Amino acid sequence: MKIVVIGGSGLIGKKLVNNLRQRGHQVVAASPSSGINTLTGEGLADALAGAAVVIDVANSPSWEDKAVLEFFQTSGRNLLAAEAVAGVGHHIALSVVGTDRLLASGYFRAKMAQENLIKASPVPYTIVRATQFFEFVGGIAQSATDGQSVRLPPALMQPIVSDDVAAALAEIAVEQPLNGTIELAGPEPIRMDELVRQYLSANRDARKVITDVRARYFGTEVNDQSLTPGHNPRLGPTRFEDWLSRTQAHHP
């Protein structure tokens, strides 16, 4: 089967492309660095010719409110229009668990706009909302750092490793389009302050996490429901603790 991965050079994209190739699919890894750009339309029609499935795991280079909205709207419109012309049978997009609960954030308003374009398009689709990636925990710490303090709320999360996200997307690629949304999460819930504490400690990072119920997550208030999945998420098997010790083994 010919599958196009939009954002094929990114964190998830690279792993997804490898995974799909191992399963014997013909895969196009599409990104501006390979001459395929969903903002300008460059290379898009050629890349999509004969494709059965498109998996969109691209991300905006800027997370500034206006820029990120512009990215997901323009990219989504161009991509879905080109897919309709090419007769693509399944559009799969990676979004974020809780997107509809986090609309105080410009990033999530942009992800919501991306999802709405997909739902309004005639192309059959599956929206896959994943929780935060383990690889993103360092970014959460960074965003909340002031000097040697990292101030974070104790909100529940259920993060997942990028390899498990890529593996789930590769399976969904051969399933029927749901014309709906599924959630993807890691195997266990953990509080944000504790997650970052474990991460910093494993990396021998001297910063201290201060638990503060009023601290925000990228500028947005969060509670135990904001970032956690509903009743029936697909679960990735990898535990945060095991990932931490594995990544530590590579970087002693």
Judged by the rule CB under 6 A, the positions of this chain that interact with ligand NAP are 6-13, 31-33, 37-39, 57-59, 61, 75, 94, 96, 111, 130, 132-133, 136
CB of 147: closest distance to ligand NAP in angstroms?
Answer: 25
Q: Which residue is nearest to ligand NAP (CB)?
A: 10
CB of 206: closest distance to ligand NAP in angstroms?
Answer: 25
Q: Which is nearer to ligand NAP, 136 or 205 (CB)?
A: 136
Question: What are the backbone angles phi and psi of residue 191, rounded to the nearest 5°?
Answer: -80, 145
Q: Which is nearer to ligand NAP, 13 or 236 (CB)?
A: 13
Are the CB atoms for 56 and 7 separated by under 8 Å?
yes
Q: Which one-letter DSSP state was computed for residue 85?
A: H
Q: Please, where are the H alpha helices in 121-191?
A: 137-143, 162-172
Q: Which is nearer to ligand NAP, 59 or 181 (CB)?
A: 59
What is the separation, in whole angstroms, between the first and last Cα of the chain? 41
Q: CA-based Rg of the chain, rounded to a whole angstrom?
A: 18
CB of 60: closest distance to ligand NAP in angstroms?
Answer: 7
Q: Which is nearer to ligand NAP, 10 or 229 (CB)?
A: 10
Q: How far apart are CA 189 and CA 195, in angstroms?
A: 10
Q: Tell me, what amino acid is at 229?
A: P
CB of 52: closest distance to ligand NAP in angstroms?
Answer: 19
